[in-house]
Amino acid sequence: MTRLASYYAAGMQVEEGSLQVPLDWTGHTPGADLGPGPRIGVFYRVLTDPERTHEDLPLLVYLQGGPGAPAPRPLSQDDDPWIGAALKRFRVVLPDQRGTGRSSPVDASSFAALGGPEEQAAYLRLFLADSIVRDFEHMRLTEFGGRRWVSLGQSYGGFLTLAYLSAFPQGLAACFTTGGIPHVPASAREVYEHTFPRMAAKSREFYERYPQDVERVAAIADRLADGGVTLPSGDPLTVERFQTLGADLGKKPAFERLHWLLDTAFPDGDGSLSAARSARLSDTFLAGVEEATASTPLYWPLQEFIYADGECGPVGWAAQQVRDQSPEFGVGARPLLFTGEAIFPWMFEQERALRPFRQAVQLLMGEGSWPRVYDAAQLEVNEVPLQAAVYYNDMYVDRELQLDTLSRLGNSHAWITSEYEHDGLHQSGMFSKLLRLALERGDLEGVL
């Protein structure tokens, strides 16, 4: 195994490694001699319980949600409960997906330097699931001696799981997913047709819990509609961007986070909203909105393209298509509804961090031919045991679409729960429950 560093931190033994992979996997095979061509680095960490460092432990690879997010940087074994639970039985491998963290990261500056929109669009296409799973399979074969590993996929990590099972099932001993089974066949438009009603329901649920915020949100929106409000970065704060605070509402305790942020909006302190339209929005509020809605470099540019699979036709700003047919989400509607995990064309005009991606994303929105990510025939005869947590009220990955895919996925098992929201993996007991279900069926026989 190639190692960059080995040390102890936060009650864990940590080893760091990195490997080179092709920027474009076309014509290359994971595990084989890669030959010439552009390369990027893929970084990973391996965590081990200090009391078990000399044991021959099985491997669990974490497939991070996103897209465009690096692996966790835990502060302790208990910082993220699933990590502490996993370390009792596994060495935990935390790869930074290509373009994130320390894996040749993409940011606005580096992206702008790539060339024209066509070159940039071609580059973006190389940072999706088909490339990511090849990176990980190459890592398994070259850095970990070809040992099969167990995977844990959170949210988009579940999309990666099915891509991995489609392309390299021989690399996986068992799989866990949490809130992350994609619909196969994939369709971005279909996803948003299911999730926009959930966005509306979450907004109404928020107002039921905090009815006083109906008037406060309306007052803020009225002020923003007059224009002239800017965030600390210099970006305009529009009603549309204010509505994207709803992207957090499918997690816990998001209602409270939003309520207390709204509480800071008007600095007069007397609680009156009668003159709010002409009132100044507080610096504290504006900083909080910017932090809550700030874009990571690849998250929004790739968001709708995670649903592109094969000859699927153009994605075509699917969320905006559905929003255009949903007048209840209009900026003048009251009560104002919040939007969830959805991208819109205005983001790439208004947000400085996204402007370098605008032309490339626009080109990709019209592209109808994509790499094949999911092999439906292979998934139907899948033999690798998969245990999925399906959240009954998931705002981001629709329950019905997940269950439809699982009904056609061999050796898969669903645990449907209303106890957790989309971030349930990060709550105490979630991973232990999934592990127990798999152990009781014998899915980890020969692994644990």
Report the relative pairing of strands 59-63 and 149-154 from DSSP bridges. parallel
What's the pLDDT band for 280 if we cut at 50, 70, 90? confident
Does the pLDDT value for residue 147 go beyond 60? yes
Query: Given this model, what pLDDT does residue 296 score?
Result: 85
Q: What are the pLDDT digits (tens) for 234-252? A: 999 999 999 999 999 999 9
Provide the percentage of residues in the chain whose pLDDT is more than 90: 93
Q: What are the pLDDT digits (tens) for 71-106? A: 999 999 888 999 999 999 999 999 999 999 999 999
**How far apart, in whole angstroms, are the C-alpha atoms of residue 154 and residue 425?**
7
Does the pLDDT value for residue 275 go beyond 60? no
**How far apart, in whole angstroms, are the C-alpha atoms of residue 242 and residue 245?**
6
Query: Given this model, what pLDDT does residue 159 score?
Result: 98
Rounded to a whole number of angstroms, the CA Rg of the chain reads 22
Query: Given this model, what pLDDT does residue 411 score?
Result: 98
Residue type, 173: A
For residue 38, say if its preceding peptide bond is cis, omega within 30 degrees of 0.
Answer: no
Nearest to 35 by CA among 47, 44, 48, 26: 26
Nearest to 318 by CA among 308, 332, 328: 308
Query: Given this model, what pLDDT does residue 271 score?
Result: 52
Query: Given this model, what pLDDT does residue 278 score?
Result: 63
Query: Given this model, what pLDDT does residue 279 score?
Result: 75
CB atoms within 10 A of CB 422: 25
Report the relative pairing of strands 12-22 and 39-48 from DSSP bridges. antiparallel
For residue 72, say if its preceding peptide bond is cis, omega within 30 degrees of 0.
Answer: no
Residues whose CB falls within 8 Å of the CB of residue 176, separated by 6 or more in sequence, listed in order: 150, 151, 152, 153, 386, 387, 388, 389, 431, 434, 435, 438
Please name the residue that has the structure tokens 């504006």: 286
Nearest to 175 by CA among 419, 430, 383, 31: 383
Q: What are the pLDDT digits (tens) for 397-416? A: 999 999 999 999 999 999 99
Residues whose CB falls within 8 Å of the CB of residue 67, separated by 6 or more in sequence, listed in order: 97, 127, 128, 156, 298, 299, 302, 303, 306
Provide the percentage of residues in the chain whose pLDDT is more than 70: 97
Sketch out the chain's domains with CATH numbers. 5-181+374-441 (3.40.50.1820), 188-365 (no CATH)
**How far apart, in whole angstroms, are the C-alpha atoms of residue 56 and residue 54?**
7
Interval 26-34 mean pLDDT: 96
Nearest to 390 by CA among 361, 362, 351, 430: 430
**How far apart, in whole angstroms, are the C-alpha atoms of residue 206 and residue 222?**
19
Does the pLDDT value for residue 167 go beyond 80? yes
What's the pLDDT band for 3 if we cut at 50, 70, 90? confident
What's the pLDDT band for 10 if we cut at 50, 70, 90? confident
Interval 385-398 mean pLDDT: 97
Query: What pTM value is reported for the model?
Result: 0.97
> Quick one: tokens of 180?
């992350």
For the chain, the average pLDDT equals 95
Residue type, 378: Q
**How far apart, in whole angstroms, are the C-alpha atoms of residue 75 and residue 71?**
13
Q: What are the pLDDT digits (tens) for 300-339? A: 999 999 999 999 999 999 999 999 999 999 999 999 999 9
Query: Given this model, what pLDDT does residue 270 score?
Result: 52
Please name the residue that has the structure tokens 């099972």: 165
Interval 31-45 mean pLDDT: 95
Query: What are the beta bridge partners of residue 111?
Result: none
Query: Given this model, what pLDDT does residue 399 score?
Result: 97
The residue with greater pLDDT, 117 or 274, is 117
Interval 289-293 mean pLDDT: 97
